[in-house]
Chains A and B, each alone.
Chain A
Amino acid sequence: MTNSQSRAIATAQTSGFSLYDPRVRGLAYQVLVICLIVGGAWYLISNALANLARQSIATGFDFLSRAASFDIAQHLISYSSASSYLRAYEVGLLNTLLVAAVGIVLATVLGTAVGILRLSGNWLVSRLAAIYVEVTRNLPLLLQLFFWYDVITVTLPGPREALSPLPGVFLSNRGFMLPVPADGPALLAVAVAFLVAVALSVGVDIWARRRQYATGQQFPVAWAATVLIAGIPILAWLAIGAPTAMDMPSLVGFGFQGGITMSPEFVTILLGLVFYTAAFIAEVVRAGILAVSWGQSEAALALGLRRGQILRLIVVPQAFRVIVPQLTSEFLNLTKNSSLAVAVGYPDLVSIANTTINQTGQAIEGISIIMAVYLTISLLVSAFMNWFNKRVALKER
Chain B
Amino acid sequence: MKTILTIAGTVIGMSLMASAAHAGPTLDTIKKNDYVRCGVNTGLGGFSIPNSGGQWVGLDVDMCRAFAAAALGDANKVKFVPLSSEQRFTALQSGEIDVLSRNTTWTITREGELGALFGPVTYYDGQGFMVNKKLGVKSAKELNGATICVQPGTTTELNLSDYFHGNNMQFTPVVIDSLAQVNAAFFSGRCDVYTDDASALTAVRAAAPNSADYEILPERISKEPLAPAVRQGDDEWFDIVRWSIFATLQAEEWGITSQNVDTFKDTKNPDIQRFLGVTAGIGKPLHLDDKWAVNIVKQVGNYSEIYERNLGAKTPLKLDRGLNALWNKGGLMYAPPAR
Contacts from A to B (Cβ < 8 Å): 44-45, 47-48, 50-52, 54-58, 69-73, 80-82, 142, 146, 149-150, 153-154, 158, 173-174, 252-255, 257, 264-265, 339-340, 342-345, 347, 350-351, 354-355, 357-364, 366-367
Whether B14 and A48, one on each chain, are in contact in the complex, defined by CB atoms closer than 8 angstroms, is yes
Q: Which of B154, B157, B160, B232 contacts A55 (CB 8 A)?
A: B232
Select the residue from B3, B152, B160, B233 with max chain A CB neighbours within 10 A. B152
User: Do B86 and A344 touch across chains, with their CB atoms under 8 A apart?
Assistant: no
Whether the Cβ atoms of A51 and B17 lie closer than 8 Å is: yes
On whether the beta carbons of B7 and A363 are closer than 8 Å, the reply is yes
B147: A residues at CB distance < 8 A: 174, 254-255
> Which of B113, B164, B182 neighbours the largest number of chain A CB atoms within 10 Å of its CB?
B113
A262 to B173, CA, bound (A): 14
- Choose one: A45, A54, A345, A362; the contact of B185 (CB below 8 Å): A345
Instruction: Say yes or no: is B112 at the interface (Cβ < 8 Å to chain A).
Output: yes
**Which of B112, B160, B161, B177 contacts A354, CB < 8 Å?**
B177
Q: A81-B161, A174-B147 are in contact. Are A350 and B4 (CB under 8 A)?
A: yes
CA distance A360 to B175 in the complex (A): 18
A73 in complex: contacting residue of B19, B153, B173, CB < 8 Å? B173
Q: Given A73-B172, A255-B145, does the pair A54, B3 have CB atoms closer than 8 Å?
A: no
List 14 contacting pairs A-B, 8 Å CB cutoff, sorted by A: A45-B15, A51-B14, A56-B232, A69-B162, A255-B145, A255-B147, A344-B181, A354-B7, A354-B152, A355-B157, A357-B90, A360-B109, A362-B113, A364-B10
Interface flags, B84-103, vs A, CB<8A=1, else 0: 01100110010000000000
Hey, what's the 0/1 contact readout for B19-45 against A, CB within 8 Å counting as 1? 101000000000000000000000000
Residue contact A71 to B152, C-beta cutoff 8 Å: no
Interface assignment of B319: CB less than 8 Å from any CB of chain A: no
Task: Tell me if B329 counts as interface (CB < 8 A to partner A).
Answer: no
Which residues B177-217 have CB closer than 8 A to chain A? 177-178, 181-182, 184-185, 188-190, 192
Q: Is the interface of A mostly helix, strand, loop or mixed?
A: helix
Given A153-B188, A174-B190, A364-B11: A345 and B161 within 8 A (CB)?
no
Contacts of B4 in A (CB 8 A): 339, 350, 354
List the B residue with the shortest CB-CB distance to A46. B19
Contact status of A58 and B172, CB under 8 A, knowing A255-B147, A351-B152: no
> Chain B residues near A81 (CB, 8 Å)?
161-162, 165
Known: A355-B86, A361-B110. A153 touches B175 (CB 8 A): no
The distance in angstroms between the C-alpha atoms of A272 and B145, with both chains bound, is: 29
Q: Which residues of B are found within 8 Å of A153, using beta-carbon distances? A: 184-185, 188-190
Q: Which residues of B contact A351 (CB under 8 A)?
A: 152, 175, 177
Instruction: Select from chain A the residue with minimum beta-carbon distance to B185.
Output: A153
